[in-house]
Amino acid sequence: MSGGFVEVADRVLVLREPLLEVNVTLVLGDGEALLVDTLSTARQAADLATAVRAVTGDPLTLVNTHHHFDHCFGNATFAADPPRPIWAHELAAAALRDEPDRLRREAYAELRAGQPELAAELPDTTLLAPTHTVRTEATLDIGGRRVLLRHPGRGHTDADLVVHVPDADLLVAGDLVEQSGPPAFEDSYPLQWPDTLAELLRWCTADTVVVPGHGEAVDAEFVRAQHARLVELAWLIRAGHTGSAPPERIAADAPFPARPALIAARRGYAELDGTAG
């Protein structure tokens, strides 16, 4: 794996996977460490494990920010043998436990055109479900460091977790915040996402480092700007639904590129119709 972990706050390091720009975060404690997200396949996870071992040989606790393939399909490499704890939101854990075939199909469909070699690795990648779950909040002790796992609400999915490291003033936001591209709306709740980001912002100071799901680390101002665009999008969706406008019209006026905006408009209409899964 090109590059390696880079320290972005006190004893918190981030590695960015080059193909999809997924961020993996390593929180170092005294004799223990926390690894947030595990990438897409067994091969990627094995390369990631080499990068982790170059930093620390301490026992790992894992966190999945959500159940999409690029954040959790590497779990088994780190936590199957010997077993290690894996934390996730209860709905993400249920999806990985009960619907692995669906998650594989969706991952393959997403990867086969743009990343066919990575897609071909999926059949040989064992999915390992989380062992510990969070509904709203949990507190971990990682070698003397307090780490909070928080579910601020529905947004990118119904099962997003934010990892808060208070002594480093750092938040790992997963795909609730995106830097290298627009937010991904395929499984989203665009009408609720603004309130979820507003909750996340309540945990920020002027100096907070926010690690997005993909791309460069950002600050609270970046998150506020993304929040404002999501607020505008939600307003457009509600107004369009009231006026029976086609989703394509919402996408044309939205503050995001056309394709993700169209997906968001359709998801938002489903929310208002009570049919969002």
Residue 226 belongs to a domain: no
- Flag whether pLDDT at 276 surpasses 90: no
Distance CA(144)–CA(122), nearest Å, equals 37
- Flag whether pLDDT at 189 surpasses 80: yes
Number of domains the chain contains: 1
List, for residues 66-75, the tens digit of each pLDDT value: 999 999 999 9
- pLDDT value for 3: 73
Residue 83 belongs to a domain: yes
- pLDDT value for 277: 74
Residue 37 belongs to a domain: yes
Q: For residue 104, give the CATH number of its domain.
A: 3.60.15.10
Residue 256 belongs to a domain: no
Distance CA(104)–CA(124), nearest Å, equals 11
Distance CA(40)–CA(183), nearest Å, equals 19
> What residues make up the domain containing 33?
6-219
Residue 186, amino acid? E
Residue 267 has φ and ψ, to the nearest 5°, of: -65, -40
Enter the tokens of residue 71.
């954040």
Q: Are 166 and 244 in contact (CB under 8 A)?
A: no
- Flag whether pLDDT at 118 surpasses 80: yes
Distance CA(164)–CA(201), nearest Å, equals 12
Kindly report the pTM of this predicted structure: 0.97
Enter the tokens of residue 27.
């929180």
- Flag whether pLDDT at 2 surpasses 60: no
List, for residues 198-208, the tens digit of each pLDDT value: 999 999 999 99
Confidence class for position 1, pLDDT limits 50, 70, 90: low
- pLDDT value for 170: 98
Residue 218, amino acid? V
Residue 34, amino acid? L
Residue 247 belongs to a domain: no
Q: Which of 138, 140, 218, 137 is closest to 176 using CA atoms?
A: 218
Residue 230 belongs to a domain: no
Confidence class for position 88, pLDDT limits 50, 70, 90: very high
* Residues 138, 141, 145, 151, Cα dihedral to 10°: -10
Residue with tokens 């980001």, as numbered in its chain: 197
List, for residues 208-248, the tens digit of each pLDDT value: 999 999 999 999 999 999 999 999 999 999 999 999 999 99
Enter the tokens of residue 252.
């044309």
Average pLDDT score over residue span 158-183:
98
Distance CA(123)–CA(106), nearest Å, equals 13
